[in-house]
Structure 1
C-alpha cells in the first residue's frame, strides 16, 4: 500500500500494525493452501486468511482519506501530484516483479505475453475475471484493483466531503449491503468469482474512505481506542471464522465471509487509528515493516515456486520449519525489492516534486 510519509503519530503506528498483520496473514494463508501447513487450533482461521485482502482495501481507503482530508485534489497541479505519487509508488515495483515472473516462471508463450502486454502495463487485468490464474495475476490482481480505486479516489474524496453525516451512513450501509449480498448471488447462480473484481474491491476501499470521514463521538472513540477492545475484536474475528469453517459454512468462498469481517475490520481500523501507544510509535521495525508491506505482498508471487523447489532439495518436511522458511524467504525477497526498487524510486519522486 502506498502511503504519504507524514510525521509519526500514534494514529499511524496503529494502522501500521494492522497493515503488517494483514500482509502476514495472507502469507500464512498461502502456506496453508499450497503446502497444507497446519497451525493447530488456528488452522481453520488461517485457511480463510484471504479475507484479509478485504482489510487491506478498507485500510487503503481509510489511510488515503486520512492523508488528504484537509487537501483539495480538484485543481490540476494537486491532481497531477497525487497521480504521480501513485504511479511512482506502485508501477516500478509491480513492473519489475511482472517481468521477473514472466522471464523466470511464466508458462505463457511469447505471443500470449504480447497479447497480455497492454493489459498488464495499464493494470487492467482485474477487469478480466478469467485472467486470475494466468501468469502472475493470481498474485498481482490486487494492484489492478488498487490502481482503479486510486484513479477514482479524487472523485470519492470530493463526494464524501460534500455529504452530510446522515448521507455518509446511508452510503456506508448501501456499500455494505451490496458486499454482503453479492456473494450469495455468486453462490446461488454459480457465476464467476468476485474475489478479484475491481468494483467490489472498490466498494471496500470506499467503505474505508467513509469510515475515516465519519465523525466519531469522543466518548465512543475513547472506549474503542484501547488494547482490550482490539483483543476482543481479534478474538471475535478468530472465533467467528473458526466456527463457520468448523460448521463447513461456505468454506473457501472468501467474499461470503464479509458478514463476519466487514464489521470487525471496520471496528479494528477505528480502534487502531485512535490507539495511543508510545511503544508502537517508537517501534522502528514496525515502521520499516509497514513501509515494505507492498513489497511483502508482491514477494509472495515467487514464494510458492521457490518453496516447491527448495523444500524437496533440502529435505524440509517439518511443518513448523516450512512455515518459518516461508516467512523468512518472503521477508528476504521483500527487503530486496524494497531497498533496490522502492527506495530509489521514492528518492526520484521526491526530487521531481
Structure 2
C-alpha cells in the first residue's frame, strides 16, 4: 500500500516544476559556495544571483500549497486544518530536527562558529531575532521560517477570502500586500540603512540582512505570486487554460523579466532593488512556474536526467549543503584550491551524498508514515459511504 501510494503520487509530478525546483536548489548552492571562497570566476554570474533560487522556492510553494488549500474551498468544503498542519509537520520537521541536532551536538558540523539559541530554531523565529554578525551558522533556515509562517497564516486568510469570493477583494488584498512590502522596505532602507551605507564597519550589510532580507513581512512577494497563480487556476479556469495554451510565450517573457531583475539587483542592497526588485523578480518567476505547470510547452516537455531526483531531495540538500561545504573544506584544506572542476565535483558529490542519506533515512520514512496514517481515515470514509 505504501509503495503504491508513492508511485501514484510520482505519476502526477510535473516535469517542468521538478526542473524549476532542481534549478532553484542548484542556484542556491552555487550562491552559498562563497563559504568556501566560491567555485571560480566561471560561476560568478550564477553565484552572485543564486539567492534568487530561494524566491523561486517561494513561488513554487505558494502555488502548490495555494492549490492544495483553495481546491476544497472552491467546492464549498471546509478546510481540514488539523490534517494540513499534521501533513506539513511530517514533511518538514523530522529532517529539520535531525539537522538541528547535528548543528548543536557536533560543532564541527557548523559552517560558522556562532549560532542562535536552540529555542529560536524550534519556534521558527530565527529570521526575526538573528544576530547575523556573530551567529551565521544555519542562518539559511530563515527561509524555512518564512515558509512556516506562511503555512500558519495562509489557510486562515484563504478561508476568510473565500467565504464570499470576490475578485475585487482578492485584487485589493494582493495589491495591498505588495505595496505594503515596497513601502516598508523603502522606509527601513531610507531611515535605518542609508545613514550606514558610507561607513566601513559592516553594519550596513548586517542590518540589510536582519531588517530587510530575512523578516517574513519583507519577503511575501514570492509566496503571494505563487498563490495568485493557484487562485487563477482554481477560480478562473478559463484564464488558466489560455495561459497554458501560451506556455512558451510565458516562459520567454518570464526569462526576460528575471533577466531584468538580475540587472536591477546588480546593486543588491540598493534602494531601487530593495523597493521594486523583489516584486519584479517574483513576477518573472511566477511566469516561469506558470509555464512549467503545463505539460505541453517547452519547459514541461524537458526531461533532464536527474532533475526529478534533485527536486525530490531538494529539501535535504537545502538543510545540509552549507555544513557539508565546510566539512569538505576542513577535510581537504587547500588541496582543492585552483582546481575548479575537481572542487566542483567533490563539493557537489559530498552534498548529494549527505542529502541522499538524510532523505532516504529520515524524510522518506516519515512521508511513508504520513501516507499510512492519512490513508486509514480515507479508507474508512470510503467504506462508510459504500455501506450508506
Above 0.5 in TM-score?
A: yes
Taking the TM superposition and a 5 Å limit, the aligned residue runs for 1:212-291 are 212-214=230-232, 215=236, 217=239, 220-226=242-248, 229-238=250-259, 240-242=261-263, 245=266, 248=267, 250=269, 255=274, 257-258=277-278, 260-276=280-296, 280=301, 285-291=306-312
Report the equivalent of 1:71: 72
Q: How many residues align?
A: 341
Pairing partner for 1:312 from 309, 313, 333? 333
**Higher deviation after alignment, 180-189 or 97-106:** 180-189
Structure 2 stretches lacking a partner, 5+ long:
194-206, 375-388
Counterpart check, 1:159 vs 2:179: no
Counterpart check, 1:196 vs 2:214: yes
CA distance in 1, matches of 2:257, 2:223: 23
CA contact (8 A) 1:29 1:46 kept: yes
Structure 1 stretches lacking a partner, 5+ long:
none
Report the equivalent of 2:198: none
CA distance in 2, matches of 1:27, 1:253: 26
CA distance in 1, matches of 2:28, 2:255: 16
Report the equivalent of 2:196: none
Pairing partner for 1:84 from 76, 83, 86? 86
Report the equivalent of 2:315: 294
Taking the TM superposition and a 5 Å limit, the aligned residue runs for 1:1-353 are 7=9, 12-32=14-34, 34-40=36-42, 43-72=44-73, 78-105=80-107, 116-130=117-131, 134=135, 136-161=137-162, 162-189=164-191, 190=193, 192-202=210-220, 204-214=222-232, 215=236, 217=239, 220-226=242-248, 229-238=250-259, 240-242=261-263, 245=266, 248=267, 250=269, 255=274, 257-258=277-278, 260-276=280-296, 280=301, 285-312=306-333, 314-353=335-374
CA distance in 2, matches of 1:335, 1:158: 37
TM-score by length of 1: 0.82
Change in Cα spacing, 1:185 to 1:157, as seen in structure 2 (3 Å) is: same
CA distance in 2, matches of 1:336, 1:19: 19
**Higher deviation after alignment, 135-144 or 283-292:** 283-292
Tell me the CA shift for residue 284 of structure 1: 8.1
**Higher deviation after alignment, 178-187 or 26-35:** 178-187
> For the aligned residues, what is the CA RMSD?
3.5
CA distance in 2, matches of 1:31, 1:326: 9
TM-score by length of 2: 0.75
Tell me the CA shift for residue 11 of structure 1: 7.2
Tell me the CA shift for residue 334 of structure 1: 1.0
Report the equivalent of 2:385: none
CA distance in 2, matches of 1:252, 1:28: 25
**Higher deviation after alignment, 252-261 or 285-294:** 252-261
CA contact (8 A) 1:12 1:273 kept: yes
User: 1:34-80: CA deviations, max 9, x gaps?
Assistant: 4133353x62353022122122112211101212322259858x221
Larger Rg: 2
Higher relative contact order (CA 8 A, sep 6+): 1
Change in Cα spacing, 1:240 to 1:36, as seen in structure 2 (3 Å) is: same
User: 1:70-114: CA deviations, max 9, x gaps?
Assistant: 2259858x2211111111111111011011112222699xxx98x
CA distance in 2, matches of 1:46, 1:242: 14
